[in-house]
Structure 1
Amino acid sequence: MMRTDVLIIGAGPTGLVLALWLTKLGVKIHIVDKTSEPGTTSRAVAVQARTLELYQQLDLTDALLDGGHKVPAVNLWVKGEKAARVGFETVGSDLTPYPFLNIFPQDKHERLLIDRLERLGVTVARSTELTRFTDEGGRVTARLRGPDGTETDWEAAYIAGCDGARSLVRETLGTGFPGGTYRQVFYVADVEATGPAFNGELHIDLDEADFLGIFPMAGEGRARLIGTVRDERAEHPESLKFEDVSDRAIQHLKVNVKTVHWFSTYRVHHRVSEHFRHGRAFLLGDAAHIHSPAGGQGMNTGIGDAINLAWKLAAVLTEQAPEALLDSYEAERIGFARRLVATTDRVFTFATADGPIANVVRTRIAPLVVPVLARFDASRDFIFRTVSQIMLNYRGCPLSVGTAGQVHGGDRLPWVGSDTNNFASLSQMRWQVHVYGEASPALTTWCTEHDLPLHVFAWQPDFESSGLAKNALYLLRPDTYIAFADTSGTPESLDQYFRSRGLRISSR
C-alpha cells in the first residue's frame, strides 16, 4: 500500500493550487487525473483581482499578468451599436493593486501551475483515476487505476475531491447536489477576427434573449466568444458548428472572423453540494459548486476553496491545530458558494429573459442606467468588489473575531495603496500581525517571543478611509484573511485567541 498525507483527485486549477500550497508547506501529496494530458482548450479565461492577490503567495501573479491580457473596460451593445462603456480604470483603483479583469486562458493557467509543481518535485499521475475510497475514521484508503489498468491501494490522512461536476468523491459521500440545469445551450469559440469589438475590451450584446459576449485575449485580434443557442438548434448541440451560431455575432457586433481555433457547445448547471466535508473527505471547485459563466467566477471560486483548505490541512497535519479546525472549511466556503450561484443565476436570467418587458429593460433601460450607476463611488465599488471577489468575507464564522474601525474578523485585509504596500508581507504563508500606527512594547515582545511576524505601518490619514483603526491589532491568517481585529492592541487578547482555539504558531 502506498501512503501520502493528502490524496488529491483531479488536476484542474483547483487541484493544482491545492497541491502547490500543501507542497510549499511541507505536506506530502499525491495528485492524480484521469486525463492523459493537461487541457489544450482555453475554457475558463477570467482571473479576478482577489485571485491575483492570493497568488502572491505562490509567486504566480506576475506570470499571469505577463502572459495575460488586462481588460480595461466593458461595453454594452444594442441594435448593432455601442450603447455604453464602463472603464475599469475608474473602478477599484483604490481597492486593490489589480483593478482590472485579467484574461489568462485555462490551458495556459494549468501548464503554469504544473510547471511550478514540477519544480517542487511533484508530478501529476496522468491517466489515473479513483475507482473507490473508504473513510476508516483514522485514515482514508483508496484504490487508483493506472494507465495500464493496474490498480494500486493508497492510504492517506485526507482525500480532496477536485474531480469536477461528475465527482466520484461526491457520489461516494452521498451528499446531495441540489440545483438545476439552464435550458439554454452555451457555445464557446476562440477566434481571430477584426471589427470594432476587437479592441482589447469586453463587449456584451443586449439585443436578444440570449447571452453574447466577446472576451479579449492576448494577441492582436484574438478573443473568446461566449453565447447561447436558441430555437431548434439547441435540440442537437453536438452537431452544431460555429457557422450555425455565428450570425448574431457577425451582424450585431460586426465581427469579421478569420480563424476559429476552437469551438464547443455545452449545457450549464447551477448546483451546490449539501456538504463540502464529510469526515476525512473534502469537496472543492466544480465538485462542490457549479454555476453559469456570468461574471467569470467558477475557476476563481475553486482556487479560493483550495487556498482556504490548504493551510488548515497543513496546520492539522503538522500538529499546529486540532482536527476541529477543518470544520471551518465548509462553514466559510459553502455560504459563499450559495450566494455566488444565486447571484450568477440572477444575472444570467436577466441577460436571457424573454418577452417585451425584458427586452425593453435590456435594450433601453440598462444602457442608460449602467453608466449612471458607474459614476457613483458606492455603486461602482460594490460592482467591482462583487465581481472581483474582494468582497468575500468570513464574518460570523468560528475563526473570525472582533472589530476595529470598519474592519471585522473574517474580512479581507484592506489595501492601503502602492505607496505603503501593506500587501508585501502577504506573500508569507503564515500567521502575522499588522498594526497601523504604533505597536505597544508588550505586543512587540510577545510577537518576538512567539516567532509571530509583526508589521507596523506609520499612521496616515488615508488609512481611516480604508476602514482601519489607529493602533489596532489585526491578526492575519495564513491565507491573508483577518482572523482577529482588536482595538486594544494588547498581547493578552492575541494569546487568548490562539489558546481558546488550540492553535499554535508555525514558523514554517
Structure 2
Amino acid sequence: MRSDVLIVGAGPTGLVLALWLTKLGIKVRIIDKAAEAGTSSRALAVQARTLELYRQLDLTDAVIESGHRVQAANLWVKGGKAAQLRLATIGTDLTPYPFVHVFPQDQHERLLAQRLEALGVKVERATELLGFSDDGTRVLARLRGADGQEQDCEASYIAGCDGARSLVRETIGAEFPGGTYRQVFYVADVEASGPALDGQLHIDLDEADFLAVFPLANQGSARLIGTVRDERADRAETLRFEDVSDRAMEQMKVDVAKVNWFSTYRVHHRVAKHFRKGRAFLLGDAAHIHSPAGGQGMNTGIGDAINLAWKFASVLHGCAPEALLDSYEAERIGFARRLVHTTDRVFTFVTAEGRVADLVRTRIAPLLLPTMAHFQAAREYVFRTVSQITLNYREGPLSQGSAGHLRGGDRLPWAVAGDEDNFASLALMDWQVHVYGKAPQDVIDCCKSLGLSLQVFDWQPEYAEAGLLENVVYLLRPDTYVALVDPTGTWETLARYFSSRGLKPLQRA
C-alpha cells in the first residue's frame, strides 16, 4: 500500500493534482471520506488562466463544450441595469479565453474523475484519513476504508486537499487565522425567466442583501447566489427559498418557475500560516478560504495543484533537490493572502450596511462604474485580476531576469502571428525555451545538451505588441510560467540557471 503521493480529498484541487502527477509518471493514491461524488456545488466560474493551464491536461475543450461562456457582467441598482462590463471585448488580445466560463463544480469533478480513471487511477471513496506521522523519510498514514477496516498507507508525501476542516492541516499544527462573515449565503439552482436570464452575469448592488444571477448551460436555468443579513441569518439551517426569493423577483425581475436545489452556508476568510511542514502540504480550501466574490476559490486551489505537481514530480524523478518543494509555499501563500484581502474588500463593499454604504453603492458607484468602463486600462485591470492572468511569481526563488515589462515569474504573454499561436507548445509538461527572432547556435546547442525543447518564432510585430522582445531567451517552467528572462540571449545564463539550482528537465528523468 505504498504510493509516491497520498492525496486526501477528491475535489477539483485533489483531482487536478492527481491528474498532473499521473501524467508525469508519479504513483498517486487519492482518497475521499465521502461515499459519493458531490451532486451539488457552490463553485461555478472557471477563469481564463485555469483554461490556459488545462491545455496541458487536454481538458480545455471538454470544459468549454460542457459549460457556458459569460461574455458580460451587469450591475443592477433599483431594479435596472446601471453598468455593463463586456468581458469578450476586454480580453480578446490578452488570452485565448476572453470570458468567464460557468461550469458547475459537480460536473467539473465528474469530468476530472473520468479522465483520472482513464489513466488507471480511481478515487477511493468512503475512505477516511484517521491520522499520519512523518519520520523525515516517509509519511505513514492510517486509513479507514469503506468496509470499516483500518490499514496503513506509506507515501513519500501527503497532500491535504481536504477542505476547510482539514485533518492534514490540524495534524501539522498550521494555524488558520481569519474570521467568519456574519452574513448567511444561499445558493439556488432555478428554472426562470426575465431580463437577467440572458446568458450574462447580473449582480445587484441595492440597499438590501447581495444577489448575483449566474447563467447555466441550459437555457432558462440560472444559479442565484445571495446573502441574508437580518434576523433570518440566525435561522440559517431552517431557511427556505421562499424566505429569500422576494429580492430576486422584485429587484431583478427574475420569475422563478421551479427550484431544483437550495442550500445555505457560512463563509470564512482565512489563510493558513504555513502551506507545508516536512512531507505534508496544504492546497485549496485546506490552505485558504475566502468569500465567493470574483469566483476565485476553486481556480486558486487548481493553481495550487499545478504549482506543486511539477515540483513533486521533479523531486521524485531525481530532477531536482528536495529544496525545490520550499518554493511552493513561497510562491502560493503571498497570492492567497492578497486574494483573501481583495475579495474581503469587494464583499464588504457590496454587503456593507448603513446610509453611507447605501449611498456609495446605489448612487455613486452607478455613476463611476460606467465612466471607468470607458477606459481600456481600467477594463483590462479588472479582467486581468478576475481571470488570474495577472498572477505572477516575480518574488519567488525560481524567478530570474527581466526584459521590457516582462520579468521572471510572469505568465507568458499570449500572441498570435499569422497561423502561429505561441501557446501551442505549452501543452508540453516540461521545461522549454522560447525565442522570438533568432536563436544563436550556442543557445541551440545548450538546449540540446540540457534536453530542453526549443521553440523559435520568426519575429513579427504581434510579439512586440504582446510585450515580448526580439532575440531574448525566455525559459518556461513546466507550469508554463516564465522562469528566466535573458536579454543577452547567451547559453551561459541558461546553463547556469539549471546548474545553480540542481535542476534538469523531466524528460531527463
Partner residue of 2:439? 439
Q: Summarize deviations over 1:243-288 as a string: whole Å, max 9, x none.
A: 1101000000001111111100000000000000000000000000
Partner residue of 2:151? 152
Whether the aligned pair in 2 keeps the contact of 1:209 and 1:353 (CA below 8 Å) is: no
Partner residue of 2:491? 491
Aligned-partner Cα distance in 1 for 2:407–2:445: 25
Partner residue of 2:466? 466
Partner residue of 2:397? 398
Alpha carbons of 1:55 and 1:357: their partners in 2 closer, same or farther (altered >3 Å)?
Answer: same
Cα RMSD, aligned residues only: 0.9
TM-score by length of 1: 0.99
Q: Summarize deviations over 1:220-261 as a string: whole Å, max 9, x none.
A: 111110000121111011101101101000000001111111
Shift of 1:370: 1.4
Partner AA of 1:66 in structure 2: E
Aligned-partner Cα distance in 2 for 1:229–1:418: 50
Shift of 1:361: 1.1
Aligned-partner Cα distance in 1 for 2:505–2:264: 49
Q: Summarize deviations over 1:299-352 as a string: whole Å, max 9, x none.
A: 000000000000000000000000000000000000000000000000000001
Partner SS state of residue 361, structure 2: helix
Aligned-partner Cα distance in 2 for 1:297–1:30: 27
Partner residue of 2:135? 136
Alpha carbons of 1:144 and 1:426: their partners in 2 closer, same or farther (altered >3 Å)?
Answer: same
Whether the aligned pair in 2 keeps the contact of 1:97 and 1:417 (CA below 8 Å) is: no
* Count of aligned positions: 507
Alpha carbons of 1:418 and 1:254: their partners in 2 closer, same or farther (altered >3 Å)?
Answer: farther
Aligned-partner Cα distance in 1 for 2:489–2:185: 53
Alpha carbons of 1:418 and 1:198: their partners in 2 closer, same or farther (altered >3 Å)?
Answer: farther
Shift of 1:190: 0.6
Shift of 1:209: 4.3
Q: Summarize deviations over 1:464-501 as a string: whole Å, max 9, x none.
A: 23221110000000000000000011111100000000
Whether the aligned pair in 1 keeps the contact of 2:417 and 2:462 (CA below 8 Å) is: no
Partner SS state of residue 226, structure 1: strand
Partner AA of 2:139 in structure 1: V
Aligned-partner Cα distance in 1 for 2:219–2:208: 30
Which moves more between the two structures, 360-369 or 434-443?
A: 360-369
Aligned-partner Cα distance in 2 for 1:66–1:368: 37
Partner AA of 1:203 in structure 2: H
Q: Summarize deviations over 1:13-48 as a string: whole Å, max 9, x none.
A: 000000000000000000000001111013200000
Q: Summarize deviations over 1:426-461 as a string: whole Å, max 9, x none.
A: 001000000011111111122123221100111122
Partner residue of 1:82? 81
Q: How does 1:419-438 map to 2 (within 5 A)?
A: 419=418, 420-438=420-438
Aligned-partner Cα distance in 2 for 1:42–1:183: 21
Whether the aligned pair in 1 keeps the contact of 2:416 and 2:462 (CA below 8 Å) is: no
Aligned-partner Cα distance in 1 for 2:100–2:78: 26
TM-score by length of 2: 0.98
Q: Does 1:164 align with 2:172?
A: no
Whether the aligned pair in 1 keeps the contact of 2:136 and 2:279 (CA below 8 Å) is: yes
Aligned-partner Cα distance in 1 for 2:506–2:193: 54
Which moves more between the two structures, 322-331 or 401-410?
A: 401-410
Aligned-partner Cα distance in 2 for 1:153–1:136: 15
Partner SS state of residue 91, structure 1: helix
Aligned-partner Cα distance in 2 for 1:131–1:449: 47
Whether the aligned pair in 2 keeps the contact of 1:315 and 1:321 (CA below 8 Å) is: yes
Q: Which runs of 5+ in 1 are unaligned?
A: none
Partner AA of 1:352 in structure 2: T
Partner AA of 2:133 in structure 1: T
Partner residue of 2:326? 327
Partner AA of 1:299 in structure 2: M
Partner SS state of residue 256, structure 2: strand
Partner residue of 1:101? 100
Q: How does 1:341-490 map to 2 (within 5 A)?
A: 341-417=340-416, 419=418, 420-490=420-490
Whether the aligned pair in 1 keeps the contact of 2:7 and 2:160 (CA below 8 Å) is: yes
Q: Does 1:222 align with 2:221?
A: yes
Partner residue of 1:501? 501
Shift of 1:418: 6.7
Q: How does 1:47-66 map to 2 (within 5 A)?
A: 47-66=46-65
Partner AA of 1:255 in structure 2: V
Partner AA of 1:492 in structure 2: E
Shift of 1:155: 0.7
Whether the aligned pair in 2 keeps the contact of 1:94 and 1:417 (CA below 8 Å) is: no
Partner AA of 1:400 in structure 2: S
Partner AA of 1:185 in structure 2: V
Partner AA of 1:31 in structure 2: I
Whether the aligned pair in 1 keeps the contact of 2:392 and 2:409 (CA below 8 Å) is: yes
Whether the aligned pair in 2 keeps the contact of 1:431 and 1:478 (CA below 8 Å) is: yes
Partner AA of 2:365 in structure 1: A
Partner SS state of residue 267, structure 2: strand
Structure 1 stretches of 4+ moved >4 Å? none
Partner residue of 1:22? 21
Whether the aligned pair in 2 keeps the contact of 1:86 and 1:374 (CA below 8 Å) is: yes
Whether the aligned pair in 1 keeps the contact of 2:450 and 2:504 (CA below 8 Å) is: no
Whether the aligned pair in 1 keeps the contact of 2:417 and 2:463 (CA below 8 Å) is: no
Whether the aligned pair in 1 keeps the contact of 2:12 and 2:112 (CA below 8 Å) is: yes
Alpha carbons of 1:418 and 1:362: their partners in 2 closer, same or farther (altered >3 Å)?
Answer: farther
Partner residue of 1:336? 335
Aligned-partner Cα distance in 1 for 2:37–2:68: 22
Aligned-partner Cα distance in 2 for 1:505–1:56: 20
Partner SS state of residue 470, structure 2: coil
Whether the aligned pair in 1 keeps the contact of 2:417 and 2:460 (CA below 8 Å) is: no
Partner SS state of residue 166, structure 1: coil
Partner SS state of residue 329, structure 1: helix
Aligned-partner Cα distance in 1 for 2:40–2:422: 37
Whether the aligned pair in 2 keeps the contact of 1:185 and 1:267 (CA below 8 Å) is: yes
Partner SS state of residue 485, structure 1: strand
Partner AA of 1:432 in structure 2: Q
Whether the aligned pair in 2 keeps the contact of 1:209 and 1:351 (CA below 8 Å) is: no
Whether the aligned pair in 1 keeps the contact of 2:430 and 2:506 (CA below 8 Å) is: yes
Whether the aligned pair in 1 keeps the contact of 2:475 and 2:484 (CA below 8 Å) is: yes
Q: Does 1:309 align with 2:308?
A: yes
Partner SS state of residue 507, structure 1: helix
Aligned-partner Cα distance in 1 for 2:389–2:369: 21
